[in-house]
Chains A and B, each alone.
Chain A
Amino acid sequence: MVPTIFYAACAIAAAGLTLLLMQSGRKFRMGATILGLAGIAWILVIVVQTIPTPASDIGPLGLMILCAFVSVASAVRVITHHRPVFCALYFVLVVVSGAAIYVLLSAEFVAFSLVIVYAGAILITYLFVLMLAQQSPADIGSADAVDYDRIAREPAGAVIAGFVLIAVLGGSIFSVSEQKAESILDQNRAIRQGWGDLSMMPKLLLEQARRTDLTVTAVVARTDGQMIAVQTDHSAIISVERAGQMTPSDLTLAPSLLPDNTSRVGMALVTRFPVSLELAGIILLMAMFGAVVLARKQTDIADDDRRALAGLGKVMDGSQSSQGKANR
């Protein structure tokens, strides 16, 4: 029964999006917007109803639904707006509300790097290219955009394909909810992993131990060979040497001393994915080479033409000028 209602909600959202994309749909713009928003709201209501939320999570849930509306509505504006610069600016809104959702999902480091990299770097590149590939001056002053920005290609087919995908994905969400997704949420596992990460960071471990007890001089391995023993109340016991004491003694660390998100992401990057980190560097280097090569071809032609215009062709020797021709 629930999937049928879900498919109906998908159909309503799809109809709204199709009307927004179609050229003739501009007359029904307000109605199409309301239709699309209602469909999206209905999808979200079904998802929230299917997966039970404890009363303590109503605050995050409300914030996330707010972010959901902002990001989905601005994503729709990205694909429906007629002016490319506004599309890019709406994409910034998608990124910012996406970062807010990341913070709600306690991924703070990725949230801020998303804003810096996407809104700060990638979108600026897009805006620069949009300005480089500017329309002719006559079009800028006119009220409407050029044809290829105004008329969508096969909106109905594309929207149907997309929302069939949504319906299939939604069906999988329902099957997950039947298997009690909450049982996977294991607080103890996260705590153990957090303390395990801390035991791999000796400097931070000593710092946290000194924050608990100022007389600590060194953290040593416990008698069972491990650095940290996790207690059932989520605190941890470590073995430390104190100033003026010859034998190591125990020290209890409170759960508030667990490493934060940034330390854990950094630790995972260098201990679990070092090869991927190097490969990411290589990808960035290759992209830089590629961009330089693509840009350089143009300057070669320009230089060649300028030399020819200035009558410098005789000065250059034959091999260089033939190389310039080959570059064309």
Chain B
Amino acid sequence: MNQELSSGFTIAANAPIAVALAISALLFVIGLVGFLCRRNMIIMFLCTELMFQGAALAMIAFARLRMDVSGQVFVIFILTVAAAEAALALALVVLLYRKRETLSADAWSDLGES
């Protein structure tokens, strides 16, 4: 609406939030499909990061819709959790790789009660 207002919401009052929500849904679903389809453990974790991206984009879009910065603050916490998750998950992946000498998740399909 007003370009000169710098209330932290600058560009336009009616920015295309619906398109952003569509992108976030598509990113989340593509990440989900990748997590189910790929066999490489590292790529599976990369696909969870894709799902994080979709969720964070939805947060930003709704923060824009409600003109409230709480959504943006929540995305900062998502970034924190994603960083912690990447550090731990990748350390685990390296440990698993040293045990079986392969990154394939199928190599661990024999886990279970026996």
Chain A contacts to B: CB under 8 angstroms? 17, 21, 40, 43-44, 47-48, 50-51, 53-54, 56-57, 60-61, 64-65, 67-68, 71-72, 75-76, 78-79, 84, 87-88, 91, 94-95, 98, 101-107, 109-110, 113-114, 117-118, 121-122, 125-126, 129-130, 132-133, 147-149, 151-155, 157-159, 161-163, 165-166, 169-170, 173, 177, 181-182, 184-187, 189-191, 193-194, 234, 255-256, 258-261, 263-265, 268-269, 272-273, 276, 280, 283-284, 286-288, 290-291, 294-295, 297-298
Give the docked Cα–Cα distance between A106 and B14 (Å).
Answer: 11
- 20 A-B pairs within 8 Å (CB atoms) are namely A40-B26, A54-B14, A79-B31, A79-B43, A98-B57, A105-B63, A106-B8, A107-B60, A110-B60, A126-B90, A130-B42, A133-B97, A148-B104, A158-B36, A184-B66, A255-B5, A255-B6, A255-B7, A261-B72, A298-B95
Given contacts A91-B50, A187-B1, 17 further A-B contacts (CB under 8 A): A78-B50, A84-B43, A95-B53, A118-B49, A118-B79, A125-B90, A129-B90, A148-B106, A154-B36, A158-B33, A185-B65, A255-B4, A255-B5, A258-B7, A261-B72, A283-B81, A294-B95
B94 CB contact (under 8 Å) in A48, A129, A152:
A129
Are B61 and A166 in contact, with the CB atoms below 8 A?
Answer: no
Give the docked Cα–Cα distance between A293 and B72 (Å).
Answer: 33
Give the docked Cα–Cα distance between A95 and B98 (Å).
Answer: 30
Q: Which residues of chain A have C-beta atoms less than 8 A from B98's C-beta?
A: 298
Are A268 and B73 in contact, with the CB atoms below 8 A?
Answer: yes
Are B70 and A268 in contact, with the CB atoms below 8 A?
Answer: yes
Cβ-closest 8 pairs across A and B: A79-B34, A287-B84, A190-B67, A158-B36, A148-B104, A194-B7, A148-B39, A51-B18
- Number of residues in B with C-beta < 8 Å to the partner? 85
User: Shortest CB–CB separation between residue A284 and chain B, in angstroms?
Assistant: 6
User: Shortest CB–CB separation between residue B114 and chain A, in angstroms?
Assistant: 22
With contacts A101-B23, A122-B83, A272-B70 taken as known, whether A181 is within 8 angstroms of B30 at the C-beta atoms is no
B1-31 residues with Cβ-Cβ distance < 8 A to A are: 1-2, 4-23, 25-31
Give the docked Cα–Cα distance between A31 and B90 (Å).
Answer: 36
Give the docked Cα–Cα distance between A32 and B94 (Å).
Answer: 35
B71-104 residues with Cβ-Cβ distance < 8 A to A are: 72-73, 75-77, 79-88, 90-95, 97-98, 102-104
With contacts A79-B47, A130-B42, A153-B39 taken as known, whether A280 is within 8 angstroms of B77 at the C-beta atoms is yes
Q: Which residues of chain A have C-beta atoms less than 8 A from B34's C-beta?
A: 78-79
Q: Which residues of chain A have C-beta atoms less than 8 A from B68's C-beta?
A: 193
Are A87 and B80 in contact, with the CB atoms below 8 A?
Answer: no
